[in-house]
Amino acid sequence: MICRGCVIEGKLPGSACRTEFGSAVAPCLYHFVDSRMSEHSTTSNQGSQLAKESESDGYFISAEGRKGDHDRLNIQHQMWNLLMNGPCPISDVELDDLLKPGPPNDSVPTVLDIGSGSGIWSFEIARAYPHAKVTGFDVAPFHSTNALDNFSFIQGNLLDGLQQFYDQFDLVHIRTVLLHIKSDKQSWAIEEFIRCLRPGGLIILSDWDEIFLDEFGQRLPAARDDDKPEAQGT
């Protein structure tokens, strides 16, 4: 989400800028990305330490940078829901059929949410399908006071492999995870996702590749409705 100030007034990103989405408040997307760019370009001792933390688990966003990020992730979830008309890019009928109890022995349908973050997607599915077992998996710790009986969380690093989940899930959901994995590991990661499926299972892999920098490494301005087709903007 890009705040009105960034788009109309052409303000430079700053920590004072906030944007509202429903009842939630979080830094606008433009400013969030700018803050991450600044974080990784710093040459201070603090910046070096953050870079080391990021390298230690293979993700581009440092462990420190992932703390307290749930407000942004919850807003991002609402944006994805609007884009896909729901939590999944398939119809409710297809999702109901996928997650209905079935043979053998009326087995319990299972869902794995890789990179579960704040848990908002997992919770939405767990509430909609109380008979299903939903598992969240993320490199960052997760704590919630709204625990659901059919939801569980396992902390771990995707880059260590997903052997503990092989052949167990009817639905595997991965959203905005690949963009945090180095390109030489992405094909391997997708193969790991596939190995987590039961026969007949479904993977939902959602990602984006928005461009924020031009060919010279400079941040692009926010796009405007009246921009010419050849204009560069994000």
Closest by CA to 136, choosing from 113, 168, 166, is 113
- Is 145 within the bounds of a domain? yes
Residue 148 has pLDDT above 60, yes or no: yes
Tokens of 98: 């996928």
At 7, is the pLDDT very low, low, confident or very high (cuts 50, 70, 90)? very low
Range of the domain at 126: 62-98+106-219
Residue 16 has pLDDT above 80, yes or no: no
Q: In sequence order, what DSSP letters do the residues of 167-221 get, joined into one string?
A: T-EEEEEEES-GGGB-HHHHHHHHHHHHHTEEEEEEEEEE------B-TTSPBPP
156 compared with 209, residue with greater pLDDT: 156
- Is 45 within the bounds of a domain? no
- Is 94 within the bounds of a domain? yes
* Pairing relationship of beta strands 197-206 and 19-21 according to DSSP bridges: unpaired
At 76, is the pLDDT very low, low, confident or very high (cuts 50, 70, 90)? confident
Q: What is the average pLDDT score of the chain? A: 74
Show Cβ contacts of residue 156 under 8 Å, excluding neighbours closer than 6 positions: 137, 138, 139, 164
At 50, is the pLDDT very low, low, confident or very high (cuts 50, 70, 90)? very low
In whole angstroms, what is the distance from residue 142 CA to residue 119 CA? 8
Closest by CA to 136, choosing from 39, 125, 146, is 125
- Is 32 within the bounds of a domain? no
Tokens of 55: 């390298």
In whole angstroms, what is the distance from residue 68 CA to residue 118 CA? 9
At 128, is the pLDDT very low, low, confident or very high (cuts 50, 70, 90)? very high
- Is 13 within the bounds of a domain? no
Does residue 25 sit in helix, strand or coil? strand
45 φψ region: left (φ > 0), alpha (ψ -120 to 50), beta (else): alpha
How much is the pTM? Answer: 0.64
Backbone angles phi, psi at 13, to 5 degrees: -55, 145
- Is 230 within the bounds of a domain? no
Structural domains in the chain (count): 1
Express as a percent the part of the chain with pLDDT over 90. 35
In whole angstroms, what is the distance from residue 169 CA to residue 81 CA? 22
Residue 15 one-letter amino acid: S
- Is 115 within the bounds of a domain? yes
- What average pLDDT score do residues 126-137 get? 95
Q: CA–CA distance from 147 to each of 32, 76, 150 (Å)?
A: 29, 21, 9
Closest by CA to 62, choosing from 35, 99, 22, 25, is 35
- Is 182 within the bounds of a domain? yes
Given this model, what pLDDT does residue 23 score? 37
Q: CATH number of the domain that 124 lies in?
A: 3.40.50.150
Residue 48 has pLDDT above 70, yes or no: no
